[in-house]
A and B are shown apart, each in its own frame.
Chain A
């Protein structure tokens, strides 16, 4: 996923936000209680959060949910505790909470993808790219996960959060994150026909 919004994007109407077009990302490390700090955070994190949401429920809903995520973050900015959670984990936590109200949309998208007729097996031109017949299987695997397991897995795989950040985002113990992630990965591996993981040590340490 992209790491920022400033990479060549033209800001359509940022005057009202007080953000200088082309300003570099990264200023979000400071507090977000003041408007300038929040704007910097928005500039840095909006695109990845949007893409995370869009991957889960599609671009149509992503427009609204990503906007709601940052509007909610703005309203709650005084409640953000930098000592408890990274800013991005806090933002993803808000996004995940909003996404829970649309889990059926996500489920439908996964079920639709899982039902895509597997076309004739064709060699992928890029070794790491998904082959046509793998995508439905992955969608099916995700569709069969519990919501809790799916949240943890996708925060890890798509939002690149480590276990500590996922725990902070979801307000659950780190051990719970670890067990959910392990079960989710095992379930997906089984769905894809991969052998069971022999060592989940990396997962326990949050760097799988």
Chain B
């Protein structure tokens, strides 16, 4: 008699062999890894939910497929072989875990996604990212949706699942006006939509977007009933500008003038908005571009970015004048007619004191060599928290392995003129995977600062530690 093992071996036995595309994909990935001198490829985490908000991904998305490999492979050379341990006395304490025992060990837990903390006690986590790959004939682009929602009412210490209506998933990060009133771009049974809850996620009111509108990928709500959004149709990189003034029941759709790669939008007031992106959707030169509107998006005027920098990361405005963003600094590009890429890149903190019209560099690289910024959260015109990685290599595993960099967390209290490193306590039950650098628990995937001196971070290194640890700066 055939037993269950034999039956299992017949189950899905028709799975095809890898095709040429699969082999090519793997060969490219190995080639990219090969070009890194050290253990860890210093890229932003090209995984799960962090991708939608990142300009490097935007860069990848905006390139021909053949250029992606070249671009990924660039990045940074390793720095001196020392470990970055300076903490200056500022620290994050471990508050708990997103799911007890860690989501990777739980058969029922979610893969955590972006945090949204409208108050020091209430946080939401959109979880269970589902990527969708689409193409417009020239480029490959990924869109995302989050299928699950979790809520914490005790400062992110404990979490409960929120049951979403059948067929509803999020396509943008939540934007919360109060602890219980939050909005997001959504997909409702496959149809692009806008959804809002006024009771902390228990019920949702969902409205379809106008015909011909793509999924909302970026949402900003400067007033209770006024929200603006970016939407993209299918694989197009051309962003639509959506506006509602009645809480999402009706939207008007417009486009940006002569610019079609807008990927970020922030509106500190109803009429004052800042949009950022690149020169054109198919731009391979990474020409940064920022636009400012003072009339609710009717007209836009260009702002000024530092040379060789883009600002197509989320823009964090603490008021109508003071805004911050991670800027991508490129040093040299190449284009051989087939592939294109950057020979070197790193991030610098960008700050604007005039509502996004002019931007200046706040020199993070003076503190962290060749930094990449993963998260920015500002609580005032002078105080911002960031997390990311630098090029300070680590030697570990008895000296047999070397990482390509170190994770860091830092704070500035003078609008980015100087930065102080912050320490994070390693989870006591952390079980690092063999061969992982010892600081993977500092790989922060989401950072929120709902009020001064209260920040909440989620560390969920996908390849290393088994716990999605929650850190807080709250006493």
Contacts and interface: CB of A to CB of B under 8 A. Distances in A.
A46 B18 contact: yes
A22 B405 CA distance: 38
Nearest to B36: A75
Interface in B15-38: 15-18, 20-34, 36
A98 B23 contact: no
Interface in A174-202: 185, 188-189, 192, 194
A31 B39 CA distance: 17
B36 A67 contact: no
A26 interface: no
B152 interface: no
Given A12-B23, A74-B33, A67 B28 contact: yes
A62 B433 CA distance: 22
Nearest to A191: B4
Given A130-B10, A192-B7, A66 B47 contact: no
A54 B26 CA distance: 14
Contacts of B212: none
A122 interface: no
Interface string A32-54: 00010010001000110011001
Contacts of B31: 16-17
A102 B216 CA distance: 24
A79 B25 contact: no
Contact of A67 (B25, B47, B104): B25
A208 B110 CA distance: 33
A130 B4 contact: no
Given A62-B22, A63-B25, A185-B4, A78 B10 contact: no
B4 A47 contact: no
Given A13-B24, A59-B16, A171 B4 contact: no
Tell me if B's interface is mostly helix, strand, loop or mixed.
mixed
Interface size class of A (residues with CB under 8 A): 35 or more
Interface string A3-22: 00100011111101100000
A134 interface: yes
Interface string A129-165: 1100011001100100011100001101110000000
Given A54-B15, A66-B26, A128 B10 contact: yes
Interface in B75-128: 104, 106-107, 110-111, 128
Contact of A101 (B4, B27, B48): B48
Given A101-B104, A128-B10, A68 B29 contact: yes
Contacts of B106: 147
A97 interface: yes
B26 A46 contact: yes
Interface string A114-135: 0000000000000011100011
A66 B18 CA distance: 9
Contacts of B3: 189, 194
A112 interface: no
A30 interface: no
Contacts of B189: none
B260 to A, nearest CB: 28
Interface string B295-314: 00000000000000000000
12 contacts: A12-B23, A16-B27, A54-B15, A62-B18, A66-B22, A78-B39, A79-B435, A101-B104, A104-B110, A157-B8, A157-B9, A194-B3
* In the complex, the 9 A-B pairs of residues with the closest C-beta atoms, listed nearest first: A79-B435, A71-B29, A67-B29, A157-B8, A67-B26, A50-B18, A74-B33, A71-B33, A76-B435
Interface of B: 2-12, 15-18, 20-34, 36, 39-41, 47-48, 104, 106-107, 110-111, 128, 130, 133, 147, 397, 400-401, 433-435, 462-463
